[in-house]
Structure 1
Amino acid sequence: MIICHCQTITDRDIHAAIDWMRASDPNTIITPGKIYHALGKRADCGGCMPLFLSTMRKNTNLKVPVELTGLRQAPMEGRRHEGRR
């Protein structure tokens, strides 16, 4: 199925790019920009982005690697940030 008419990107292209990126680097964070770059294309009008993202989410290789989950820190409550209050 064609996902992006402007750049002629199909769902198979997206899944193949995700699978290729995950196989080449298991710890990479996969983003739409990286998929466009892997396909040698760039976003044009952005009208396809909701469908593009839902297609990405269907791929089982899109998961964030276990080593990278939970990296968010607790909120900066009561702590000084960059020397400011």
Structure 2
Amino acid sequence: MLVCSCNFITDKDIEDTIVSLLDEDCWQLIVPAKVYHAMEKRGRCCGCFPNVVDIIIRTTEAYHAQRDSTEAEVFDFMTRLKEFHEENRRADVERRRKAHRAA
């Protein structure tokens, strides 16, 4: 399935890249920018990033399930990922500015 139409990247390309990153360090935090950098691509419109995050989560969970990781390790990783996601969401909200009009 085509995930990024700007760069013509399929879900298989993304999954393969994630697995190669996890083979290097299975507990690293993987974000869309890291995946695109590993593929030597860049996000253009970045509309695909939410789908890439879903693929990262799904692929990482499957990777650790196949490797017999302990539940505590997987739970810790997912907790860190959710905290990272929430911190970035808060930062985005804080950066938004309301339109100011001069009276």
Q: TM-score, structure 2 length as denominator?
A: 0.57
Q: Calculate percent identity across the aligned residue pairs.
A: 32
> Could you tell me which amino acid in structure 2 is paired with residue 7 of structure 1?
N
Task: Report if the CA contact (8 A) 1:18-1:61 is conserved.
Answer: no
Q: Tell me, which stretches of 5 or more residues in structure 2 are unaligned? A: 65-71, 84-103
> Alignment RMSD, CA only?
2.8
Deviation string for 1:21-65 (max 9, x for gaps)?
111122321111110011100100011122222222221238xx9
Aligned length: 71
CA gap of 1:18–1:52, structure 2 versus 1, over 3 A, is same
Secondary structure of residue in 2 paired with 1:26: coil
> Could you tell me which amino acid in structure 1 is paired with residue 22 of structure 2?
R
Matched, 1:29 2:29: yes
Matched, 1:66 2:73: yes
More helix by proportion, 1 or 2?
A: 2
Q: Distance in 1 between matches of 2:31 and 2:57?
A: 11
Q: Distance in 1 between matches of 2:53 and 2:21?
A: 16
